[in-house]
Structures are given as structure tokens and as C-alpha cells.
């Protein structure tokens, strides 16, 4: 099942995270009255509960602890569960709007549900938190919700893979080529990593490639409950949904 994990990595990363820069996400942010990273942190990490910022930093992985603490603490007046529910609603509204032309949302949602239900939560606390949330009844909203849930699974396992490959989170951001993780110095600055930055060498890039392969290996068991025909169908439907969501307009 490593092949299906590799094949679906890009569409899951894009489809599951596509709502984060949408008009719906902006409306959520504006509604919180918070600035900068605070709405994003409160919304995405709210599934962890009203915890200390170090817990959030541990799950965030690729953000410096200082960014996580400033953003999380800035939103302390907004209950975590409420923020997560409102952030999820933004994702659902985005799914209904952007997937209006997608003709097989029920089937794709059912296949994504099999993957989400069959995955182990070990090493992926955000996946566990998002999976525990209620799944919407509307099929297009359900596709977006479950794609995001599985994106959080890959994200948590990617942190594990990066560390196991001997990289720091900052090195992963600087050297990354993954659609899941923004990369390069501009994104390191955006995430709040202070300079000076370490040099990215050929060895760093080799380790980064190894981390991507290991992420695929760690993701593979989540797809084990799919029959071969279902895995192929999931790939086709994910790519089509990703194409539609990624189209301008």
C-alpha cells in the first residue's frame, strides 16, 4: 500500500488544506477578532483542547515554539472547542462551494472514511483530535472534512519521519519539496524561525528525500483496508476533486 500512499500524497495535502486560505477561512479569522497566526492556531489546534502552548507546539512540529505560544495564547479568550468547531464549519462551507461540480462526493467520502477509520493515531495527535469531531452529513462537506483529517494523519507522521531522518524541523522547512510543507527561507521567516539559518547541503537534501519516503511507508497501513479496486478508485476521485478545488474561481 505504499504506492497508494505516494500517489495520494499531493491531492490529500492540497485538498485537505485548501480551505485554509479561502474566503471561508478569512471569515472565520475575521469573526474571531484575532490577528496573525492566532486564528489559524486556535482553529486548527483547538481539537487538542485548552492546553498549554507547549502541547500545541509539540503537535505543530514545523513551527518554532515561540510562534506557537504567541499565537495560541493570543486566542486564550476563545474556547478551543468552539474555535475548532467554527474552523471545521469553514472547511465544510468551502467544500460545499468548491466541490459543487464534483459528481461523486458520496463515493469519495465513503472511501476516505475507510482510510480514516482504519488508521492508527500513534504519532498523530491532530489526526486523533480531528477524527473525533463530528463528520458532516453533506457529502461535499464530508469530503473536505475527511481529506483534512487524513492530511493531519500524514502531517503527524511526517514530523516523525523528519526527526527519524536526522533533520530538525527548521531544516525540513528550508529544504522541503513536499506539497504538504511549505519550504525555503521565505516560509521559514513566515513561520517565525529566527535567523541565521543553517546551510542546506546535499546531505540535508538526501535526508529530506528519505523523510518523504518514510512518510509514505508510515502512511501505507492506513490504506490497508481498501481493496485494490477501491484504492485505484480513491486515487482517481481524489485527483479529480483536487483538480476542481484547485481551479480558479
Q: What is the mean pLDDT of residues 148-163?
A: 97
Cβ–Cβ under 8 Å, residues 154 and 116: no
Please report the pLDDT score of residue 151 as a whole number.
Answer: 97
Comparing C-alpha atoms, which of 211, 238, 85, 97 is closest to residue 157? 211
Q: What is the pLDDT of residues 51-83, one digit of tens each?
A: 999 999 999 999 999 999 999 999 999 999 999
Q: What is the pLDDT of residues 2-27, one digit of tens each?
A: 999 999 999 999 999 999 999 999 99
Q: How many domains does the chain have?
A: 1
Res. 182: pLDDT tops 70: no
Residue ranges making up the domain that contains 112: 2-246
Q: What is the DSSP letter of 220?
A: G
Q: What is the pLDDT of residues 116-136, one digit of tens each?
A: 999 999 999 999 999 999 999
> Phi and psi (nearest 5°) for 195?
-80, 165
How many CB atoms neighbour CB 143 within 10 A? 33
Give 49's pLDDT tier (boundaries 50, 70, 90): very high
Say which residue the cell 486564550 belongs to.
76
Please report the pLDDT score of residue 1 as a whole number.
Answer: 84
Provide the strand spans (E) within 123-200: none
Please report the pLDDT score of residue 176 as a whole number.
Answer: 77
Please report the pLDDT score of residue 179 as a whole number.
Answer: 58
Say which residue the cell 536526522 belongs to.
166
Q: What is the pLDDT of residues 197-225, one digit of tens each?
A: 999 999 999 999 999 999 999 999 999 99
Please report the pLDDT score of residue 177 as a whole number.
Answer: 64
Cβ–Cβ under 8 Å, residues 182 and 173: yes
Amino acid at each position: 500500500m505504499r504506492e497508494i500512499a505516494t500517489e495520494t500524497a499531493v491531492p490529500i495535502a492540497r485538498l485537505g488544506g485548501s480551505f485554509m486560505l479561502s474566503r471561508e477561512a478569512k471569515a472565520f479569522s475575521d469573526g474571531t477578532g484575532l490577528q496573525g497566526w492566532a486564528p489559524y492556531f486556535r482553529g486548527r489546534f483547538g481539537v487538542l483542547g485548552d492546553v498549554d502552548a507547549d502541547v500545541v507546539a509539540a503537535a505543530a512540529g514545523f513551527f518554532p515554539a515561540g510562534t506557537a505560544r504567541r499565537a495560541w495564547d493570543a486566542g486564550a479568550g476563545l474556547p478551543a472547542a468552539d474555535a475548532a468547531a467554527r474552523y471545521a464549519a469553514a472547511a465544510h462551507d468551502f467544500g460545499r462551494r468548491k466541490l459543487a461540480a464534483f459528481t461523486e462526493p458520496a463515493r469519495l467520502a465513503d472511501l476516505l472514511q475507510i482510510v480514516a477509520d482504519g488508521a492508527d493515531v500513534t504519532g498523530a495527535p491532530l489526526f486523533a483530535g480531528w477524527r473525533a469531531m463530528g463528520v458532516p452529513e453533506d457529502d461535499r462537506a464530508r469530503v473536505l472534512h475527511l481529506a483534512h483529517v487524513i492530511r493531519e494523519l500524514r502531517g503527524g507522521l511526517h514530523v516523525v519521519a523528519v526527526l527519524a531522518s536526522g533533520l530538525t524541523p527548521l531544516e525540513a522547512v528550508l529544504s522541503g519539496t513536499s506539497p504538504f510543507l511549505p519550504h525555503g527561507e521565505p516560509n521559514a521567516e513566515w513561520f517565525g524561525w529566527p535567523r541565521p539559518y543553517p546551510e542546506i547541503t546535499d546531505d540535508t537534501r538526501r535526508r529530506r528525500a528519505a523523510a518523504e519516503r518514510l512518510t509514505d511507508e508510515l502512511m501505507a497501513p492506513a490504506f490497508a483496508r481498501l481493496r485494490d479496486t477501491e484504492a485505484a478508485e480513491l486515487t482517481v476521485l481524489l485527483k479529480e476533486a483536487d483538480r476542481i478545488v484547485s481551479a480558479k474561481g
